[in-house]
Structure 1
Amino acid sequence: EAEDAVQEIFIDLWKSAGRFDPSIASEPAFIAMISRRRLIDRRRRNSKRLDAAASVPIEEIDVDSGQSVGPGVEIAEEASLANDAMRTLKPEQQRVLRLAVCDGWSHQQIADKLRMPLGTVKTHVRRGLIRVRELLESDKPDRPGRNAT
């Protein structure tokens, strides 16, 4: 998946090279902008696939067949766990984190939209990500260093 994303980014960079204007932005900024847009597009496409996978009724999944339920179901389960972890955050922190992570907004865009200081937005995102990661890691039974009870 990551290799495909990198390849798509390089293709976009190649196609967009003629639009680069050093008087507007630096090369790294130009590359970052194209990369960000491509990754957001991929996320949107993948979320549509995830919605389609989630629409399969659970009764239709044959657990006894020995076949894998597929990556769509696994992703849906992980997304559900992440969503549950997000719900433990304060409402304001949830909103900021969803705009940043799910919608792909920049910290500055969030600050402008919510009329919040940029530093506060960055703090909400950082602390929210740390908290969600902690909750997700504590939920893994095979996590290294975890004591079996």
Structure 2
Amino acid sequence: MTRIAAGDPAAMGECLDRYGGLVWSLARRFSPTNADAEDAVQEVFIEVWRHAERYDKSIASEPTFIAMIARRRLIDRQRRRDAQPRTSAWDESVLPEENRDPAEWLQVCDDAQLAREKMSELSDEQQRVLTLALEGGCSQSEIAERLQLPLGTVKTHARRGLMKLRELLTASAGKLTGKGGVA
């Protein structure tokens, strides 16, 4: 570490050779893919290079120092991944083929079509909020920003819209079965 802090170019190569396996094993535990782990290893060694002057052998050994940098960097990466909103629409292709029952999928399609039709009976504001949430995958904060509405108003439109939609679908199901309840 003292050689790296002094700017010795060969020292960084030796550090990579000596501790690359340690950092790789930590990165694989924290990373969802090999590509992500490779990126993480690179980030860790850049941090080691940047902060080599902080190393104090009276406090920790070199492997411990490097492992702590790796751990902090990997936790930061995990937090960033967890904080990213999932905005992609649901993709049926991710389900294994053997789990797809054609009759179930037809029913799901029919139910989805009925829900789309019933959404047209909601207020314009409720339709816009629910469309952005359900089809666009937007969070309520993102919807508030896009529609230039207060967050509380977006939450109210979403809640009331879903309640009204449930009421409309329940009534529609009762008409289809000849009962007053859900089929």
TM-score (norm 2): 0.46
Q: How does 1:53-68 map to 2 (within 5 A)?
A: none
Q: Does 1:46 align with 2:63?
A: no
1:20 is aligned to 75
Cα RMSD after superposing both structures? 3.7
1:146 is aligned to 180
1:110 is aligned to 143
How many angstroms apart in 1 are the aligned matches of 2:76 and 2:102? 48
Q: Does 1:95 align with 2:128?
A: yes
For residues 1-34 of structure 1, what are the alpha-carbon distances to aligned partners after superposition, in whole Å with 9 as ceiling and x for unaligned? xxxxxxxxxxxx8727974329957xxx93xx57
Structure number, greater radius of gyration: 2
How many angstroms apart in 2 are the aligned matches of 1:76 and 1:95? 22
Which residue identity is paired with 2:76?
A: D
Q: How does 1:77-96 map to 2 (within 5 A)?
A: 77-96=110-129
User: Would you say how many aligned residue pairs link Structure 1 and Structure 2?
Assistant: 106
Consecutive unaligned residues in structure 1, runs of 5 or more: 1-12, 50-67
Runs of at least 4 residues of structure 1 off by over 3 A?
A: 16-20, 22-25
Residues 1:92 and 1:76: Cα distance change in structure 2 (over 3 Å): same
Q: Does 1:121 align with 2:154?
A: yes
SS in 1 for 2:32: helix
Residue 76 of structure 1, CA deviation: 1.4
Residues 1:94 and 1:22: Cα distance change in structure 2 (over 3 Å): same
Consecutive unaligned residues in structure 2, runs of 5 or more: 1-29, 41-73, 96-100
Contact kept? 2:89, 2:136, Cα under 8 Å: no
How many angstroms apart in 2 are the aligned matches of 1:146 and 1:87? 22
How many angstroms apart in 1 are the aligned matches of 2:153 and 2:135? 19
